[in-house]
Every structure is written in structure tokens, then in C-alpha cells.
């Protein structure tokens, strides 16, 4: 494949709210290169999650194009869409809401292997163990119920499920926002490891510019459904040009300077 992994252009989605049409996404365009991270940042209601859902085709746009792996993603249907979906996975903020809480970890990881025909029944337990190991979880966890494990472990299971189908792109919608900071750092490191080793690209949705700056190659800052500015993540966040970019940077909580240890 030459060119971008994902190319979005003219993407628009409007909702009716209190009798008025509101643009949740308004003529949005961006590319994601293979193996890279594009972050979408912005305040509540800026359209971040709408764009994530449009890219995942959980909702359909009013207008626009999405090319994914050199195919017209919006034109796909039926078996072709299901097959392509294996390459485009997702992890949300709250994995407890995404899983049946009474299902075991093994069951959660068995589903994608079965549905996408990735491994024969007899081979799946071995695959599940390998996935757990890949995300830094003990293989014994397979038999535990989802509601019995910690929030950080659940998010690792969500990542394991996402990588089970060997995706080229994972949409991460506030995937680390609900985690304790000590857990968050380790999950971010896991995501970066997976990217380095498997070449996975991320569409990383976050309201936290500190996290975006630490892990994204590029960032698009959204306001009212439009991209206010975009570019190299550190360049944009270090010197924002748009009003919303400046407001987000000003609002980010900052520790007094001498607090940071050299590391």
C-alpha cells in the first residue's frame, strides 16, 4: 500500500437538537499513515467521538469519503465490510460497558478469533494465552470473569481483543481517561510497544493534551465539529495557533516546574 492507511475527506454529520441542526462533524479531513498515531483533541461536544464512530461505521455520515487500506470504506457492505472490520478495531473508555461483565476473559478473546475465522477451535486456547501474554497479563486470567478483574486489567483485555484480528488501525476513544495515573502510564507504554512491533496505527481520541503530546505523531484539534488546526503533535501543542488550541493549552493542569525529576 502506498499513501495513507486512512484518508478522510469532507466528512460531515449533523444532528437535530432542540429543533436546530447541529454539526457534530463539519467537512472534516485528515490522513493517518501506517504505523502512526493521529490524536483528535478538543473540548466536550467538539465532535471527537462522532468522528470516531463515523470512521468505525457505527454511524453513517451525511457526506464525505473514507478510504481505508485503499478501499472505499463507505461503499463496503456485507461480507466485504465484515472482513475489513477485522483490520479496524476499537477500544473505548469503559471496557466494563463494552463487555458482558459475566463473560470470562477467555470468552471475550475467543469471540473475535471465532467470528473472523482466525483460529480453529482447538487452536484458540493457545491463541488466547498468547494474546494475554502479549498485553502483559498472566494466562491464568483467562478463566476469570470480566467483573472480577481490575480496571487496568480490563483495558488490557480490551486491547488484547482489539489486536486479536491483526488490525492495521485501532480507534482508541478516551481509552486511558478513566485509569489511575500509575496504570495509565503502563497502558500507554503497551500501546507504543504494539505500535512499534506490529506497525499498528492509532486514531487516539482524548481531551488530555498532556497524553496526546506524549504519544501522538500528529494531532488535529477540533472545535464545533471542525478541525481548528492540525500538525505535528508537539509543534501544535507547544505553540498552538487556533483560539481553541490556546484555550486547551492554558487550561491543562500544570505542576510547578521544579517538581519534575530528571529521568
Give me the residues that bind other proteins (CB under 8 A), please: 33-37, 43-45, 151, 180-182, 184-185, 188-189, 192, 196, 199, 207-211, 213-217, 234, 237-238, 247-261, 263
Question: Which residue's CB is nearer to other proteins, number 123 or number 180?
Answer: 180
Question: Which residue's CB is nearer to other proteins, number 18 or number 21?
Answer: 18
Question: Which residue's CB is nearer to other proteins, number 79 or number 257?
Answer: 257
Strands (E), the chain: 6-17, 20-32, 37-41, 63-68, 71-72, 88-91, 169-173, 201-206, 218-223, 226-232
Question: Which residue's CB is nearer to other proteins, number 65 or number 242?
Answer: 242
The alpha carbon of residue 129 and the mean position of all alpha carbons in its chain are separated, in whole angstroms, by 24
The alpha carbon of residue 210 and the mean position of all alpha carbons in its chain are separated, in whole angstroms, by 16
CB 125, min distance to other proteins, A: 29
Question: Which residue's CB is nearer to other proteins, number 113 or number 170?
Answer: 170
CB 103, min distance to other proteins, A: 23
CB 245, min distance to other proteins, A: 11
The alpha carbon of residue 181 and the mean position of all alpha carbons in its chain are separated, in whole angstroms, by 18
CB 11, min distance to other proteins, A: 22
The alpha carbon of residue 125 and the mean position of all alpha carbons in its chain are separated, in whole angstroms, by 26
CB under 8 Å to 8, separation ≥6 — which residues? 28, 29, 30, 31, 51, 55, 64, 65, 66, 67
Nearest CA-CA partner of 133 in 165, 155, 157: 157
CB 111, min distance to other proteins, A: 28
Amino acid at each position: 500500500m502506498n499513501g495513507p492507511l486512512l484518508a478522510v475527506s469532507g466528512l460531515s454529520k449533523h444532528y437535530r437538537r432542540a429543533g436546530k441542526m447541529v454539526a457534530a462533524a463539519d467537512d472534516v479531513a485528515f490522513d493517518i499513515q501506517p504505523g502512526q498515531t493521529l490524536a483528535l483533541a478538543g473540548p466536550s461536544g467538539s465532535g471527537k467521538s462522532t468522528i470516531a464512530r463515523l470512521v468505525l461505521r457505527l454511524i453513517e455520515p451525511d457526506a464525505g469519503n473514507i478510504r481505508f487500506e485503499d478501499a472505499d470504506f463507505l461503499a463496503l457492505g456485507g461480507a466485504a465490510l465484515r472482513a475489513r472490520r477485522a483490520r479496524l478495531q476499537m477500544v473505548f473508555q469503559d471496557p466494563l460497558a463494552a463487555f458482558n461483565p459475566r463473560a470470562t476473559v477467555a470468552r471475550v478473546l475467543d469471540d473475535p478469533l471465532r467470528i473472523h475465522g482466525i483460529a480453529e477451535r482447538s487452536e484458540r486456547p493457545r491463541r488466547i494465552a498468547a494474546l494475554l501474554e502479549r498485553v502483559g497479563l498472566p494466562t491464568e486470567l483467562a478463566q476469570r470473569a470480566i467483573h472480577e478483574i481490575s480496571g487496568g486489567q480490563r483495558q488490557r483485555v480490551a486491547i488484547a481483543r482489539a489486536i486479536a484480528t491483526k488490525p492495521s488501525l485501532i480507534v482508541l476513544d478516551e481509552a486511558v481517561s478513566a485509569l489511575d495515573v500509575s496504570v495509565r502510564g503502563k497502558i500507554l507504554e503497551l500501546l507504543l510497544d504494539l505500535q512499534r512491533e506490529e506497525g499498528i496505527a492509532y486514531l487516539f481520541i482524548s481531551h488530555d493534551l498532556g497524553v496526546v503530546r506524549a504519544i501522538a505523531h500528529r494531532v488535529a484539534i477540533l472545535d464545533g465539529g471542525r478541525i481548528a488546526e492540525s500538525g505535528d503533535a508537539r509543534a501544535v501543542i507547544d505553540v498552538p495557533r487556533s483560539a481553541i488550541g490556546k484555550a486547551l493549552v492554558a487550561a491543562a493542569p500544570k505542576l510547578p516546574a521544579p517538581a519534575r525529576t530528571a529521568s
